[in-house]
Amino acid sequence: MGFQSVRDLDVKGHRVFLRADLNVPLKDGKISDATRVQETLPTLKCLLDGGASVVLASHLGRPEGKGYEAAYSAAPVAAWLREQGFDCRLASYVNGAAVEAEAAALKPGQVLLLENLRFEKGETKNNPEFAASLARLADTYVNDAFGSAHRAHASVSGMVADFPKDRVAAGFLMEKELKALGKVLHNPEKPLVVIFGGAKVSDKIELIQNFLGKADAILIGGAMSYTFLKAQGYEIGKSLCEEDKLEMSLDLLKQAQAKGTRLLLPLDHVAATEFKEDADCAITVDQNIPADRMALDIGPETVAAYAAEIRAAKTLLWNGPMGVFEMAPFASGTLTVAEELADAADKGAFVLVGGGDSVAAVNKAGVASRMSHVSTGGGASLEFLSGLELPGVTALQR
């Protein structure tokens, strides 16, 4: 790993700026789902147990960036942390002389939670003066917010250069994400099989290209598969299609062949007369979709073929559903893939699930806890797996 872990830091008597992802849903001024705060508690506890005081910081929702807005205040997070037994106070604001005094007054074991970073436009604009004002609050920097690592924001990348390299580290959640994603991307045990679904080829071009030549097989499902099928001359009826991506889809198929990656497309479909839960459904006889129907899930022959690929793999990555799994008649493909991946993980394969819809699918199937790693990173994990540089990760490099 090209960065220092929080476990390598000596923090006794130090004041640590901990950038976390505390962007939790709020209802009636209270946290309605504390998962994101809970994810960062191991890092926070490690710092406090090591004798540090902590300046904790995050964004929350999308305030306008024109100063304090009560609806987006970090106060509910401070209250929740106090309920969990942390000696936590809410700072009077995000930055400035008063906040610097509040940080300086911290004793080991105490936490100062800054107000919502996005109250200041300087955060998202990565303004150097704003970044420097944050850096003045501590002598050590730890980033545990992998979900924000793809954003070149002041608290994520801009302020990091103001700390000595040996006082910069990744938190446990950041480290866990980078290790899991790195394993799939850089040193997977073969065979490596990746499963890509979702609506648009255009959203996954870099992702697909980055795995050509790396993956033994790429299994395609969801609406993006109909663009590939139409490009090859199949009938797709009323199914979704990106007409302006047909040529590019053909090019990806050619690249896959040239680089030795098998790119598999659905062999049959669950097709309906309209986009409705109670619409008339039928399974197609082959890859073609009747003119009066739209495909909304992969068919049983495809499920069987994809299951065989999953069972033969040692490393697996899943991003994107196989169909409209929110509607019961079109959920079977996605939920079966989730079950097969859980079985593969049970048998010792390394299975990484990334991306909001896939995470929702493994939760719906009740198999999330059986996966090797479920990435919380959303856009950050997608960009990392596409081979793009993440500003928040680059900033941590030694």
Q: Domain check: are 229 and 268 in the same one? A: yes
Asked if the model's pLDDT at residue 281 lies above 80, the reply is yes
304 pLDDT band, cuts 50/70/90, is: very high
pLDDT digits (tens, 9 = 90+) for 113-142: 999 999 999 999 999 999 999 999 999 999
Q: Do 107 and 197 fall into the same domain?
A: no
Read off the pLDDT of residues 39-86 as tens digits, 9 standing for 90 and up. 999 999 999 999 999 999 999 999 999 999 999 999 999 999 999 999
Could you say which of 142, 175, 208 is where a domain stops? 175
Q: What is the pLDDT of residues 82-113, one digit of tens each?
A: 999 999 999 999 999 999 999 999 999 999 99
- Last residue of one domain, picked from the residues 148, 175, 202: 175
Rounded mean pLDDT, 295-307: 98
Q: Give the residue numbers spanning the domain of 58.
A: 6-175
Residues 36 and 115 reside in one and the same domain:
yes
Residue at which a domain ends, from 118, 147, 175: 175
Are 34 and 169 contained in the same domain? yes
Q: Is 167 a catalytic residue?
A: no
Angle, helices 35-49 vs 172-186, to 10°: value is: 110
Instruction: Reply yes or no on whether the pLDDT at 261 is more than 70.
Output: yes
Q: How big is the chain by its Cα radius of gyration, in Å?
A: 23
Per the residue annotation, which of 61, 109, 182, 356 is the catalytic one?
356
The mean pLDDT value for 393-397 works out to 94
Q: Verify that 199 and 285 share a domain, yes or no.
A: yes
Whether 156 and 187 have beta carbons less than 8 Å apart is answered as no
C-beta separation of 299 from 267 below 8 A: yes
pLDDT band for position 2 (cuts 50, 70, 90): confident
Active site residue 379: yes
Same domain, yes or no: 311 and 377: yes
76 within domain boundaries = yes
Residue 250 belongs to a domain: yes
- Predicted local confidence at residue 379, as pLDDT: 84
| 53 and 117 assigned to the same domain | yes
pLDDT at 1: 60
Q: Is residue 183 part of a domain?
A: no
Q: What percent of the chain has pLDDT over 90?
A: 93
Per the residue annotation, which of 15, 19, 36, 238 is the catalytic one?
36
Residue 143 lies in a domain: yes
pLDDT at 331 over 70: yes
Do 279 and 147 share a structural domain?
no
Known active-site residue 356: yes
Answer yes or no: is 165 within a domain: yes
Q: Are residues 232 and 342 in the same domain?
A: yes
Answer yes or no: do 195 and 286 share one domain.
yes
Q: What is the pLDDT of residues 182-206, one digit of tens each?
A: 999 999 999 999 999 988 888 889 9
* Total structural domains within the chain: 2
- Do both 281 and 149 map to the same domain? no
pTM metric for this prediction = 0.89
Which CATH number goes with the domain that contains 123?
3.40.50.1260
Which entry of 50, 109, 182, 379 is annotated as an active-site residue?
379
Please tell me whether residues 169 and 194 are part of one structural domain: no
Instruction: Provide the token pair at 163.
Output: 């700390």
Active-site residue among 200, 214, 259, 364? 200
